[in-house]
Amino acid sequence: MSTFASLSRVLVWIFITHLVVGSSQFNFFNRRRTFRDTGNRWVTTTTEKPCELRAHSNNRRVFLMYVNGEWRKRPCALGTLFNQRTCDCSDHDPKANLHAQRCRAPLYVPFHAEPIKDHGGTNIAMDNNGRVGVSQNVGTFDGRGALTIWMYSGIYFGEHLGITFSFRSRGPASNTEQVLVSNCYYNSGGSVEIVIQPLLQNVVFRGTTSRNNQLYTANVSIPYKSGSWNSVTYSYDGVALTGNVNNQVKSSPLTGNIAVSPGSLRIGMCNGRGYNGDIDEFRLCQPILATLNQS
């Protein structure tokens, strides 16, 4: 009887050991299931949330969203195309013209001469703190220079905003952010910001929106080339925040109206985060998005 009991315990132990080894090898108790394919390699599959958007039949500049019982067209940000695999507008549109009439620029600063002025046709007033200059038809910033556009203090941008310009950074790399554009207020960040991180060589696009009395923030980071000219586009269209640096495009979902900031729009420095480098051909556009009838 004692021998039978011992044998039974051994068999139970062997069974448990095989079960544990098998579960660790084949992930019986895990949503991530691992299998060995015929090429003797491990293949891992993961259960992912299905994409809730659809591609348009013949227009990649828009996508379809299910709203109130029907599929409705929604535009991608200008310069982007819808990608069904990634479920967002993450592909670059080579045919997009960021400076066409679709981008109505009430603020245009070409930095052609001093004093630095708006050439958008409405003569928007701006203040130079005395440290922003013009050299060879580009704006020069020394880390303490700032242009302030007072008109954009407390302004309502709504669901559409675009900013385009070119920049060329200089100076040693540091881990301190440098503001290219921001509507920050004292020590608070802006609801619209474009900054560079010199040590990482990233351009960071930030957007904060207000929806149902709550704030939502999105960030997009894209590498840039230090010491070279970089073309930049910031675009918000009520569906996503999109950044474009030298035709590298990334988007992050974001909805609602851009949060109203009491701070003015500043170019080159905001709450002490000063930019060292050059800026050229600055435009603030409303709106900057693909139209629904584009093909």
274: alpha, beta or left, given left = phi > 0 and alpha = psi -120 to 50?
A: beta
Tell how strand 127-128 and strand 273-274 pair up: unpaired
Preceding omega of 94 cis (within 30 degrees of 0): no
Question: What's the token pair of residue 40?
Answer: 């003797």
Write the pLDDT tens digit of every residue in 182-239.
999 988 899 999 999 999 999 999 999 999 999 999 999 999 999 999 999 999 989 9
Nearest residue to 89 via CA among 222, 241, 287: 241
Q: Has residue 147 got a pLDDT over 50?
A: yes
Q: CB atoms < 10 A from the CB of 189, how many?
A: 21
Bridge partner list, 168: 278
How many angstroms separate the CA atoms of 208 and 241, rounded? 9
In whole angstroms, what is the distance from residue 128 CA to residue 116 CA? Answer: 8
Q: Angle at CA 267, nearest 5°, toward 263 and 269? A: 80
Mean pLDDT of 7-33: 43
Residue 126 has pLDDT above 90, yes or no: yes
Torsion of CA 176, 182, 187, 191, to 10 degrees: -120
Q: Where do the domains of the chain lie, and which CATH numbers do they carry?
A: 2-45 (no CATH), 98-285 (2.60.120.200)
234 and 181 in contact (C-beta within 8 Å)?
A: yes
142/170 Cα distance (integer angstroms): 9
Q: How confident is the model at residue 53 (pLDDT cuts 50, 70, 90)?
A: confident
Which residues, including other chains, have CB under 8 Å from residue 212's CB and lie 6 or more apart?
A: none
Q: Which residue has the higher pLDDT, 124 or 147?
A: 147
User: For residue 291, is pLDDT > 50?
Assistant: no
Query: What pLDDT score was predicted for residue 103?
Result: 53
Q: How far apart are CA 246 and CA 271, in angstroms?
A: 27
Residue 44 predicted with pLDDT over 80: no
- Among 36-50, 144-158, 169-183, 261-275, whose mean pLDDT is lowest? 36-50
